[in-house]
Amino acid sequence: MTTRKSFGSDNHAGAHKAVLRMMSLANEGDAHAYGDDPWTERVARDLCGLSGARAAYFVFNGTAANVLGLSLMLRPYEAVICAETAHLNVDECGATERLLGSKLLAVATPDGKLTPDLVATRLGGRNDEHRAQPRAVCITQVTELGTCYSLAELRVLREFCQGHDLRLYIDGARLANAVAHLDCTVADIAAQADVLSFGGTKNGGVAAEAVLVMAEDLLGAVPFQRKQLLQLASKMRFLAAQFAGLLEDQIWLRNAVHSNLMAQRLATGLGDLPGVSVVQAVQSNAVFADLDSRISGPLQHDWGFYVWDDQQHTVRLMAAFDTAPDDIDAFVAAAREASSSRV
Amino acid sequence: MTTRKSFGSDNHAGAHKAVLRMMSLANEGDAHAYGDDPWTERVARDLCGLSGARAAYFVFNGTAANVLGLSLMLRPYEAVICAETAHLNVDECGATERLLGSKLLAVATPDGKLTPDLVATRLGGRNDEHRAQPRAVCITQVTELGTCYSLAELRVLREFCQGHDLRLYIDGARLANAVAHLDCTVADIAAQADVLSFGGTKNGGVAAEAVLVMAEDLLGAVPFQRKQLLQLASKMRFLAAQFAGLLEDQIWLRNAVHSNLMAQRLATGLGDLPGVSVVQAVQSNAVFADLDSRISGPLQHDWGFYVWDDQQHTVRLMAAFDTAPDDIDAFVAAAREASSSRV
Amino acid sequence: MTTRKSFGSDNHAGAHKAVLRMMSLANEGDAHAYGDDPWTERVARDLCGLSGARAAYFVFNGTAANVLGLSLMLRPYEAVICAETAHLNVDECGATERLLGSKLLAVATPDGKLTPDLVATRLGGRNDEHRAQPRAVCITQVTELGTCYSLAELRVLREFCQGHDLRLYIDGARLANAVAHLDCTVADIAAQADVLSFGGTKNGGVAAEAVLVMAEDLLGAVPFQRKQLLQLASKMRFLAAQFAGLLEDQIWLRNAVHSNLMAQRLATGLGDLPGVSVVQAVQSNAVFADLDSRISGPLQHDWGFYVWDDQQHTVRLMAAFDTAPDDIDAFVAAAREASSSRV
Amino acid sequence: MTTRKSFGSDNHAGAHKAVLRMMSLANEGDAHAYGDDPWTERVARDLCGLSGARAAYFVFNGTAANVLGLSLMLRPYEAVICAETAHLNVDECGATERLLGSKLLAVATPDGKLTPDLVATRLGGRNDEHRAQPRAVCITQVTELGTCYSLAELRVLREFCQGHDLRLYIDGARLANAVAHLDCTVADIAAQADVLSFGGTKNGGVAAEAVLVMAEDLLGAVPFQRKQLLQLASKMRFLAAQFAGLLEDQIWLRNAVHSNLMAQRLATGLGDLPGVSVVQAVQSNAVFADLDSRISGPLQHDWGFYVWDDQQHTVRLMAAFDTAPDDIDAFVAAAREASSSRV
């Protein structure tokens, strides 16, 4: 492994020290298992306070949060409308289809964001028994392309869903970065969803995500779905403690503000280089850029990041909570050098 | 929560300090996600060395380990023969049925242990398309009743399976306790299985189990099944680190030897009390005992443990890696007092 | 194939001539597909009239009727309580588990019939997320052992279900025989169920069963579940026509009365033979009898029937709508001869 | 219902008289259930002879044939590449996703036909555990747009599949029409598939499709998958008899030749009308045409057919085995009148 900072993913980073410290604090004496313990109760309550949720549940990873959240809304003949780029659609090995039986109705988008018009293109065939019935809309906030829905966009989408008998689920693996970008509260976003996830892992956790249930009528099934979907931790306090660490002193938000800032610094540094063009709005901790192959070659040799699209030479560069300004500057310098030496 | 030691479950205990220490050590710098990191590689290799497995994979909990292990062996029309008391059958909310589609064929046992004769009772209907086809046998070692299969019993069962075209899966949520009791190696037990789990959580981990694949032909599907079954950790190094902590200085074995010893001390202490009878062989860290209701009443008031069978007044008392002799002695003293004061 | 009448199953018989005649009548001109045709509308209405159902749907076979019926009641973490002998449990290759994800909680019974007390033995663990949650009771009327629930027994069971938040599904693959035996109406039985099947195939159909939905709140999902569960016939009129044939002149009932009578004649003929004992009440078109091996040997050589239980030498003898008194008498004569010549 | 011939679907037609006659012939005496009868054995053998299949199995409808066929090839983490217009993708209510757990990877096509290049666009992510793994290609022959793959196209696609570790499944709901169009044998097409369906229902059957298994290694699972997927008929002889009727005197082929010819007559009649343009090659019994709204209005008032695409005013006109030249001529005359009277 290189000692250079990875731009490959925010999950290449380790855990925030507050997270590990809180796990150590939670490791005192016995506790009842499966969530019937004071840590879980307190942290779930805090998350409800933060988001306005009726209940908060911990699971192990983001794919699980998505499947659990959607399990509350769907019967197997009901379908999920999502962006073609949705993690649900491309990066979860078909977990939703297998575990819920539900079809995904994916829509191409320019920026990873659904709109009422785009959702409407997949609403055909309602009440036709030959068609999987659209029942939920899944959006990602921050999207997989690093973009954010504005609060106004969320409200419009939510109203459309309510007007069309559709539930709204938000995959919030990077929700903190959206809150930071929009300078809003978690509750501002959560209010538009029936269920959402609030990602802990990429924000500095070890392995913990919260599922926040906003809609009262969806609560009853959660414990059973969580257990049957392999997400019930016996020593639950250690999942709660990770969030306790992130919630302490608003570390979750400070981590997000910081990584967003690092992405801005990166975009700014790259933005005026010949052979580089930033291709998505930088509204979180990600920068998507098209790189001239004479630039991407040397950079790929020395640095870790993903080539998002081979054809377009698009790369994804992710900042994490522990990315330092120096890391950014070093990367930009390398890019600048590659840019200037191409002929 | 009482400050008295819980006898409710070995997962009421926290994590061993070596586990948390190792997680802190693993928290240095970046690492590739999803298991492509040095911690995961090393610890998986160590587990293979210990067990003779072809490969070792980390998952989040015991139910997941069971479903993943069985997923490698079964098509949905194939069934699993297990004991009626199997965790798989009674404590996993029907996860196997839902996630694999497979039927469980449960057999009543006196002691939680399957024998060739018991397995044979569920082998009817082979090649009959109306019947779910028996294809795997799932045993638990240590069983849910605290008993252990001897190595000879395992060999006989394995031979029966091989002679009847049945795969053998071992749920090893408490495998360490079996190794301690039998004074054998992990490999001695693992050699009899096609796939087995090796439990980390109850042994002193935070949330980590290993799935050990012995049969070469079952390897290919593991990464995909693990991901699709919601068990792929992004920051995998922290799961590996938990096992690194347990493997260091054979802590996993020392923890198991200790908790087994505590159970023996408990059984010895309770064994001669009027109104108490130990009803299963004490071969691990569990004591199953029938308690006169005048004894169980006062004990339940002050101590945490499970009533296993309401009708028979059977209780389960579990020792953990951190149960102290004084904890045992205090419990025995309380039981003795209740026993002597009942009239 | 022997020219002797088969006692193997009522599905060894062909179709009643009225069924084929009505299929020919339905074969006139075009009709809209998928049930939007006059035959389907009329026959479904007739079935609703007969049973008091809110809606009636046709499917291809009995296993499908059971899975579709239960699909309306269950989420995957919910379980079905049934008799160990239930077709659902032993003869459907695990279809319920695979297609619905639901666990079956099977109960041993002496006569194939559930009682409130037997159901109560499987109600443990409610609200415990580790346990599949009992949500439906599935009974078979006529049972797989040829016995019938009395109307009083049905009412008691239904009340128990209503008092314990359990739905009641009736597998009515041989419902006509129960109606004949009880001398009641279809509605008398149907009134106790949330959903039931009404078997056409064994009664003289080609391949058609009706699913009768009694509970208003379960209606909405039927078309989608039926399609997704592979049960939507395009030329639906031909399924409806089969029931039209059976409903004409109450052929369904006359067929059932007749086959029940044949079973009675058989039981009477066998009842006093040495080495033969009828072991279940004869309340339909089935006779279950233990045969001395010196009797079963010769009979098996010449006649078709199932050995139900190898250990007990129990055989099942089924009469069909087209079993003639002479068929019965010939079989009884053969049994009598075998009985008298055993040494 | 109108007395005008429906152009809505070939399943608006009834059954061919030979089919019903053969069902009556099959209705003689008893027969073993579930396919162990002479009709099933003979007809399955005949189908194998016709196609070169290793085994032929009957199921109730086309969706079931597709799911059963694919069930033989796929584990739940494996995906199916298909055209966006595939019946599997749009008209089966998500049955594949629910029943097999598998993801569909759909590709837009101009004419309903996949090519190696189009398949290749969905082959990304192989061996990446985050992605559902492409494992089967599903094509429809005749396609949902009425077009046919040439034998050369099939061979090229098959070779591509073999070179890329992909199984090939052919949805042959209208296979007979393809054989008629290509003037080839069933075996010519079947030879390119691992498994295919051979549609009986639309060709003049009541409700019967055959699943033809070409690949030896896929045979073992069929009986169990068929039963568990709710497709095992007890009185199987009546499904076999439907195919016996169609196979007699090559009625299946004559029906297909005829309906193809009717479609040609229709296309010829419509082809030169102002305001009408035929938009897909007419290679089967379907005509796809864009109609000026002043033409489609009057036609829709009087005739039954589907509007395929509201935006483009595309309609689908299907001929059936019993469509008469007069039916075509009447429709063309009506279209001509509407065409000439538009302003």
CA distances to A184, C96, D211 from D63, in Å: 49, 19, 11
Q: Which residues of chain B does C103 touch, with a Cβ-Cβ cutoff of 8 Å? A: 94, 97, 104
CA distance C100 to chain A (A): 9
Among candidates B79, B92, B98 on the partner chain, residue whose Cβ is nearest the Cβ of C94: B79
Nearest to A207 by CA among A234, A177, A242: A242
| C239 contacts D33? CB cut-off 8 A | no
Q: Residue A1 pLDDT more than 60?
A: no
Name the pLDDT band for A343 (thresholds 50, 70, 90). low
Cross-chain residue pair A77–C225, CB shorter than 8 Å = yes
Partners of chain A (3+ Cβ pairs below 8 A)? B, C, D
| Cβ distance of A27 and B20 shorter than 8 Å | yes
ipTM above 0.95, yes or no: yes
Closest residue by Cα to residue C90 from C71, C112, C75, C111: C112
- CA-nearest of C259, C197, C214, C206 to C233 is C206
pLDDT one-digit tens code per residue, B121-179: 999 999 999 999 999 999 999 999 999 999 999 999 999 999 999 999 999 999 999 99
Subunits with 3+ C-beta pairs closer than 8 A to D: A, B, C
In this complex, do A103 and D97 lie within 8 Å of one another by their Cβ atoms? yes
**Average pLDDT rounded to a whole number, residues B114-121:** 98
Chain D partners within 8 Å of A76 (Cβ): 94, 98
What pLDDT does D131 receive? 98
Contact A245, A19 (CB under 8 A): yes
Q: DSSP letter string over D80-125? A: EEEETT-HHHHSSTTHHHHHH-PPEEEE--SSS---HHHHHTT-TT
Residues of chain A with C-beta less than 8 angstroms from the C-beta of D92 = 130
B34 touches chain D (CB under 8 A): yes
Which candidate, B173, B109, B162, B101, places its Cα nearest to that of B137? B162
C164: closest CA of chain D, how far (Å): 30
Task: List CB contacts (< 8 A) between A131 and chain D.
Answer: 90-91, 93
pLDDT at D311: 85
Which pLDDT does position A3 carry in this prediction? 74
Mean pLDDT of C24-45: 97
Check residue D343 and give its pLDDT. Answer: 59
> B252-294, pLDDT tens digit by residue?
999 999 999 999 999 999 988 999 999 999 999 999 999 998 8
Q: Which residue has the tokens 């030498």?
A: C313
Mean pLDDT calculated for residue range A70-96: 98
Give the span between the Cα atoms of A146 and A138, in whole angstroms. Answer: 16
Percent of chain B with pLDDT over 70: 99
* Structure tokens, B157: 């069962």
Chain A to chain C Cβ contacts (< 8 Å):
36
Which residues in chain A have Cβ-Cβ distances shorter than 8 Å to B3? Answer: 29
Cα separation of A224 and A218, whole Å?
Answer: 12
- With CB atoms and an 8 Å threshold, state whether A8 touches B38: no
Q: How many residues in chain A?
A: 343
CB atoms under 10 Å from CB of C122, counted, come to 18
Q: Of all residues in chain C, what percent carry a pLDDT higher than 70?
A: 99
- B neighbours by CB contacts (3+ pairs under 8 Å): A, C, D
Contact yes or no for A259/A181 (Cβ under 8 A): no
Read off the pLDDT of each residue in A114-143 and give the average, rounded to a whole number. Answer: 98
Average pLDDT over residues B190-206: 98
pTM reported for the whole predicted model: 0.97
Contact D221 B75 (CB under 8 A): yes
Q: Does A98 touch chain B (CB under 8 A)?
A: yes
Give the distance from residue B310's alpha carbon to the nearest chain A alpha carbon, in angstroms: 21
> Residue A99: its chain D contacts at CB < 8 A?
101
Q: Which of C75, C85, C90, C97 to mutate to test the interface with B (most CBs of B within 10 A)?
A: C97
D240-270 residue pLDDT tens: 999 999 999 999 999 999 999 999 999 999 9
Query: What's the mean pLDDT when you consider all of chain D?
Result: 96
Alpha-carbon distances of B57 from B60, B70, B229, rounded to whole Å: 10, 14, 13
Average pLDDT value for chain A: 96
pLDDT in tens, D42-100: 999 999 999 999 999 999 999 999 999 999 999 999 999 999 999 999 999 999 999 99
pLDDT tens figures, C249-275:
999 999 999 999 999 999 999 988 999
The span from the first CA to the last CA of chain D, in angstroms, equals 31
Q: Does D67 touch chain C (CB under 8 A)?
A: yes
Listed by number, the residues of chain B in 102-161 with a beta carbon closer than 8 Å to a beta carbon of chain A are none
C342 pLDDT higher than 80? no
Record the tokens describing residue D173, joined without a space.
Answer: 């709901």
- What is the per-residue pLDDT across C192-207, written as a single tens digit (0 to 9) for each? 999 999 999 999 999 9
The number of beta carbons lying within 10 Å of the beta carbon of residue C215 is 15
Convert B308-333 to b/e letters by CB count within 10 Å (16 or more is b): beeeebbbbbbbbbbbeeebbeebbe
* CA distances (Å), origin A100, targets B225, C101, D14, D97: 15, 10, 37, 9
Structure tokens at D301: 């008032």
- Written as one letter, the residue type at B105 is L
A209-213 vs A78-83, strand pairing mode: unpaired
**D314-318 vs D306-309, strand pairing mode:** antiparallel
| Distance from C-alpha of D119 to C-alpha of D98, rounded to nearest angstrom | 23
Residues of B in contact with A57 (CB under 8 A): none
CB contact under 8 A, A91 and D129: no
pLDDT > 70? residue A169 = yes
Instruction: Give Cβ neighbours of residue A261 (< 8 Å, ≥ 6 apart).
Output: none
Q: Which of C92, C103, C129 minimises the CB distance to B97?
A: C103
Q: Is A128 exposed, middle or buried (0-12, 13-18, 19+ CB in 10 A)?
A: middle
Best probe of the C interface among B67, B87, B92, B97, by most C CBs < 10 A, is: B97
Q: Residue C307 forms beta bridges with which residues?
A: C315
Residues 270-309 of C with CB under 8 A from D: 304
The C-alpha angle A136, A140, A146, rounded to 5 degrees, equals 160
Q: How confident is the model at residue C246 (pLDDT cuts 50, 70, 90)?
A: very high
Contact C131 B98 (CB under 8 A): no
CA distances from D299 to C99, C327, D293, D317 (A): 43, 60, 10, 11
Which residues from A are below 8 Å from C132, CB to CB?
Answer: 228
Q: What is the mean pLDDT of residues B199-219?
A: 98
> D323 touching C, CB under 8 A?
no
C125 CB neighbours in chain B (<8 A) are: 90
* Interchain CB distance below 8 Å, B129 and D227: yes
Is C235's CB within 8 Å of D15's CB? Answer: yes
Check B221 against D77: CB less than 8 A apart. Answer: yes
DSSP C310-337: TTTTEEEEE--TT--HHHHHHHHHHHHH
| Sole residue written with tokens 């009706």 | C210
Strand ranges, E, within chain A: 55-59, 78-83, 104-107, 133-140, 167-171, 195-199, 209-213, 276-278, 286-291, 306-309, 314-318
Handedness of CA C276, C278, C279, C285 (dihedral sign): positive
Could you say which of D8, D31, D230 has the minimum Cβ distance to residue C230?
D230
Please state the rounded mean pLDDT for residues A68-84. 98
Q: Which helix (H) or strand (E) holds C230?
A: none
Q: Do A228 and B3 touch (CB under 8 A)?
A: no
Q: Is B193 helix (H, G, I), strand (E, B) or coil?
A: coil
pLDDT at B3: 74
Give the separation between CA D69 and CA C61, rounded to whole angstroms.
20
Query: Going along chain C, which residue ranges are E strands?
Result: 55-59, 78-83, 104-107, 133-140, 167-171, 195-199, 209-213, 276-278, 286-291, 306-309, 314-318
User: Which residue of A93, A131, A229 to mutate against D (max D Cβ within 10 Å)?
Assistant: A93
- Are residues A130 and D92, on separate chains, in Cβ contact within 8 Å? yes
Residue with structure tokens 């569920």?
Answer: B122
Q: Which residues contact D218 (CB under 8 A, 6 or more apart)?
A: D72, D73, D194, D195
Residues of B in contact with C105 (CB under 8 A): none
pLDDT for D287 equals 98
Which helix H or strand E contains D71, and what residues bound it?
A: helix D62-71
Dist. CA D230–CA D86, nearest whole Å: 23
Q: How confident is the model at residue C2 (pLDDT cuts 50, 70, 90)?
A: very low
| Whole-number pLDDT of residue B65 | 98
State which H helix or E strand residue B146 sits in. Answer: none
pLDDT tens sequence for chain D (343 residues) = 447 999 999 999 999 999 999 999 999 999 999 999 999 999 999 999 999 999 999 999 999 999 999 999 999 999 999 999 999 999 999 999 999 999 999 999 999 999 999 999 999 999 999 999 999 999 999 999 999 999 999 999 999 999 999 999 999 999 999 999 999 999 999 999 999 999 999 999 999 999 999 999 999 999 999 999 999 999 999 999 999 999 999 999 999 999 999 999 999 999 889 999 999 999 999 999 999 988 998 999 899 999 998 888 899 999 999 999 999 999 999 999 999 986 5
> Measuring CA to CA, which residue among A191, A92, A73 is closest to residue A137?
A73
> For an interface test with A, which of B235, B305, B306 has the most A Cβ atoms less than 10 Å from its Cβ?
B235
Helix (H, G, I), strand (E, B) or coil at D200: coil
- Round the average pLDDT of chain B to a whole number and report it: 96
For chain B, report the end-to-end CA distance as a whole number of angstroms: 30
Check whether B1 has a pLDDT greater than 50. Answer: no
Q: Give me the sheet containing C276-278, strands edge to edge.
A: C276-278, C286-291, C314-318, C306-309
- Does any CB of chain B come closer than 8 Å to the CB of residue A203? no
Which residue segments constitute the domains of chain D, with CATH numbers given?
17-250 (3.40.640.10), 252-340 (3.90.1150.10)
% pLDDT > 90, chain B: 94
CA-wise closest residue to C161 among C186, C141, C126, C136: C136
| Separation of alpha carbons B293 and D71, rounded Å | 55
Report the distance separating Cα D154 and Cα D194, nearest Å: 12
Q: Which residues contact C190 (CB under 8 A, 6 or more apart)?
A: C51, C52, C53, C170, C196, C212, C214
